[in-house]
Amino acid sequence: MRYQFIDAQNASYSTASLCAFMSVSFSGFYAWRKWPASARQREDMVLLAHIKDKFEASNRAYGSRRIAADLRVDGLSVGRHRVVRLQRISENRFPLSLGQSDPLRHSFG
């Protein structure tokens, strides 16, 4: 997680300051960047492409349960919670459906 943060913020801040801030070594960060993606990460990227396709094919209406069910019908082994996790980490955040409220918005009163 630390290395991913450094990699994401590398355009805005220097690698030296980010590594010092996150208490990691340069060599550890650069070794992480050279390390190939794990089998799980590669599988997640393939699944994320399928999830995005299903979501767009449904006119952006399907939720995680229906997407997971459709992927299982297509022969992919995936659970709803994995679909939710991949939707969360996706660069294009999936919008909330019409019936849901924003969990980050609080109304106190």
Cβ distance 24 to 40 under 8 Å?
no
pTM for the predicted model, two decimal places: 0.63
User: How far is Cα 52 from Cα 50, in angstroms, rounded to an integer?
Assistant: 5
Determine the pLDDT at residue 109: 52
User: How far is Cα 35 from Cα 31, in angstroms, rounded to an integer?
Assistant: 6
Determine the pLDDT at residue 76: 93
3-state per-residue secondary structure call for 37-73: CCHHHHHHHHHHHHHHHHHHHCCCCCCHHHHHHHHHH
Low-confidence residues of the chain: pLDDT under 70: 1, 91-109
Determine the pLDDT at residue 20: 92
User: How far is Cα 70 from Cα 62, in angstroms, rounded to an integer?
Assistant: 10
